[in-house]
Amino acid sequence: MALGSFCLVRQRKPVNRWARAGVPEFFPNWIVMLRLPGLPRRGESARAPICDLCLAVEGSPTVARPDCRCQRPAREFATELLKTSQHLWRQNRLQALRELRGGRRAAPALRRVQEVYMANLPERMKQSGRENWNALLSIVEQVTGLSPEAVLELPISCLSKQLALDWMRLRQAYNADLSKPEGERRSWGQLRAALKAGELPGLVIDVPLPGNYTINTMLGKAKSIAGKKSRSFYLNALELPDLSGFCSVSRLIARHGHEALERGVIAKIEEQAAGWRKTNVDLWIAHQLMSRMGLRPREVLAARRSWLEYEKEPRFRPAEAGAGWILVVRNRPEENFWQKARGKAITRRYVVDRDLAAVLLRRRRKPWLFAPDLAPTGRRNLIERTLSKELRRFLASRKGTNYELRKHYISTIYSKHGREAAAAQGGHATSETTEGYYATRLGVLPTVTGAELAG
C-alpha cells in the first residue's frame, strides 16, 4: 500500500509582496498538496508557473491536460518531496518531517535579502534603506573581518545576539583608542584578535561613554532591517530565520545634547579651512555648507544646481543682504531626495555669500554641487573620512567630528535667535528636537547674523 500521496492544485491568489516589486515571478503557480498518515494536509509551492491553457480549464487541469509541459517540473518537485517525506515518516523522524513540511530551508544570503528589501521599499525611503544596509554590513564586516563582497554571501542567520554584543565591545575599544596618538591606535584586525583572545574589556552599559550614541544609531539602523515591520511589509516574500536575539540587544546609555566647543577652536578651524579654498576646493565647499548653513552630510552630497535660486528683489533674503543667491533645501521626489523630517513639508532657505556662489556656479553643468568629478564612494569618503580627519586635529576627543560643524551652527542660531529659528534652520520636525540636542548657550559664537538667515 502506498504511503501518502500528492495532488497538484492551482494557486488562485497572489501574495502581497514579491522579490522584485510589481513582478509576480511565480504567479499563477502550481501548489503541491501532500498527504501523509496522521499529519494534516498542507500546501507547498512548487515554484512552477501554470500555462494559460491549464489555467483556463474548467475543473481539474491535471485530469483534462495530464501531459501538459507546465506540469512536469511541478510533478518532479512533488515526487521528490513525497519520497523525502516518506523516508522521514518511516524512520519516525517527526520533527524533521514537520520542519520539511513547514518549508524550512537554508537562510537566504544577505545579498538576496538586500535585493528583496530594496525592491519592496517605497521610493521615498530608498535613501534611508541604503543607510540601514550600510550600517548592517559595516557591523558584520567589522566583526568578521571579511570583505564587503564576502559579507553579502553570508546567510542572514549570522545576525545573532552574540554578533551584536561583540561588535559593541569592538566599537567601544575603537572609540577609546581615538584619544591615543595615531601610532598607538590598534587596527580592526588587532581589535578582533584581542576580542578572540579575551583581552578586550567587557561591554560598559552603565556609563555614557563617547561614541555610544553612534553605536546606538548604527545598531538601530541594522535592527530595523530584521525587525517586525520590515519582515511584515518588505521581506515577507522570503522565509527568514528567527532574528529576535539580534533585535533584542539593548541600547547603551548615551550622552545627549551638544557641548560647547572649547574657546579658540572655531577660530583655528576657520583658519585651517581658509587654506582649503586653494588646496582642496571640495573640502572647502563641504566646510562652508556645514558650518555656515548647518547642512547634514547627506544633504551636502545630494545638493544639485537646481537647489540654487537667484533673487533680484529680496524676497527670502533679508533686505540688507540685497540681491543674490539662496540655497533651497526641500523634499525633491524628482531627484529622489527626502529630508530627514519626511513627515513635514519643510523648506529651508540659506543665503549664499558671493565667494561660495562664485565657486558653485562654475559647476552649473555638473550633476552635483559638491565633488561632482568623484565617484559616489569618493564623494562620501571626502566628508566622512577626510573632513573628519582634518577636524579631529582640533577636536580629538569628539566622535562624528564633521557633524560638530552643524551642531555648532544650530546652537549659535539658538543662542542668538531662539529655539524656533534654530529648529527651522536645522530642518527639525519639532522644536523639541532642537531643545533636547542643541540648546547650548555657547560662549564663543561665530559671526552668523540675522542678515544671513533666510525665512
pTM over 0.95: no
Task: Give pLDDT tens digits for 320-366.
Answer: 556 688 899 988 888 888 887 655 678 888 888 888 888 888 877 78
Residue type, 77: F
Handedness of CA 314, 318, 324, 330 (dihedral sign): negative
Q: Which residues of the chain have pLDDT under 70?
A: 1-2, 12-26, 38, 40, 42, 95, 98-106, 255-260, 263, 313-323, 341-344, 396-400, 439-455
* 417, 448 contact by CB (below 8 A): no
Task: Give pLDDT tens digits for 281-307.
Answer: 999 999 999 988 889 888 999 999 889
* 349, 421 contact by CB (below 8 A): no
**What's residue 136's pLDDT?**
94
- Concatenated DSSP letters for 28-86? SEEEEEEEETTEEEEEEEEEEEPPHHHHH-SS-HHHHSTT-GGGHHHHHHHHHHHHHHH
CATH 3.30.200.20 corresponds to the domain 265-452: no
**What's residue 221's pLDDT?**
93
* Order of all β-strands in the sheet with 324-329: 308-311, 324-329, 348-352
| Residue spans per domain, the chain | 5-101, 110-247, 265-452
